């Protein structure tokens, strides 16, 4: 959780300048399989991906490369083991809130919309996070004062496998006319491609 902003920024740089190092998704109907879940690639064509473990967290990254240097579109699924147990969904919500507060740099990001609350989409210990911010210091912003950054995410404790937390993020950044006007609906289609498995 604490490395999420770094992961997002690193992936954005990779997509902007080094897309050849990523693998292209050839069949968008083939899910990525993990012991606790499967996930379909994000909706649409021309997605790249990379996956692997970093600091004890298994990540599947998805991204697109656009002709515009100001436009990035990324998605991320993270699987974290060894999670501390929570006594209630409210305690988990407070944990997520504190973690998100640590990740937000007010010198760079000006929040326009911020929604963070419990949601049972992936079980009782599940938080939905949706935010729209002004990014005043992206890697490249051209002549713009800032770029719009829209994030939609679910963070949850796996309901069938002990001590596993999963987060699934869909994020787009760019000038106002570059952002998908149906961003939230497109993100939900991606989330609906995540299917949880039972414990072995």
pLDDT digits (tens, 9 = 90+) for 27-40: 999 999 999 999 99
CATH ID of 4-196, from 2.40.30.10, 3.40.50.2300, 3.40.50.720, 2.60.120.1690: 2.60.120.1690
CB count in 10 Å sphere of residue 26? 6
Beta-carbon-side half-sphere exposure of residue 4 (alpha carbons within 13 Å):
27
Strands 57-64 and 126-135: unpaired
Q: Is the pLDDT of residue 95 over 60?
A: yes
Mean pLDDT of the chain: 86
Q: Is the pLDDT of residue 23 over 80?
A: yes
Could you tell me the pLDDT band of residue 103, with boundaries at 50, 70 and 90?
low
């Amino acid at each position: 959780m604490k490395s999420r902003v770094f992961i997002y920024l690193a992936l954005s740089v990779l997509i902007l300048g080094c897309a050849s190092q990523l693998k292209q998704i050839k069949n968008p109907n083939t899910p990525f399989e993990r012991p606790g879940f499967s996930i379909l690639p994000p909706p649409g064509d021309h997605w790249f991906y990379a996956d692997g473990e970093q600091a004890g967290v298994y990540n599947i990254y998805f991204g697109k490369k656009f002709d515009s240097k100001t436009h990035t579109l990324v998605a991320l699924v993270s699987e974290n083991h060894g999670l501390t147990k929570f006594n209630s969904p409210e305690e988990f919500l407070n944990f997520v809130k504190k973690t998100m507060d640590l990740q937000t740099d007010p010198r760079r990001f000006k929040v326009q919309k911020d929604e963070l609350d419990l949601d049972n989409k992936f079980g009782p210990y599940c938080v939905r996070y949706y935010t729209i911010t002004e990014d005043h210091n992206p890697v490249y912003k051209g002549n713009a004062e800032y770029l719009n950054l829209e994030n939609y995410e679910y963070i949850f404790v796996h309901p069938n496998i002990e001590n596993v937390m999963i987060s699934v993020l869909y994020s787009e950044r760019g000038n106002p006319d570059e952002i998908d006007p149906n961003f939230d609906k497109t993100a939900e289609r991606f989330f609906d491609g995540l299917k949880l498995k039972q414990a072995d």
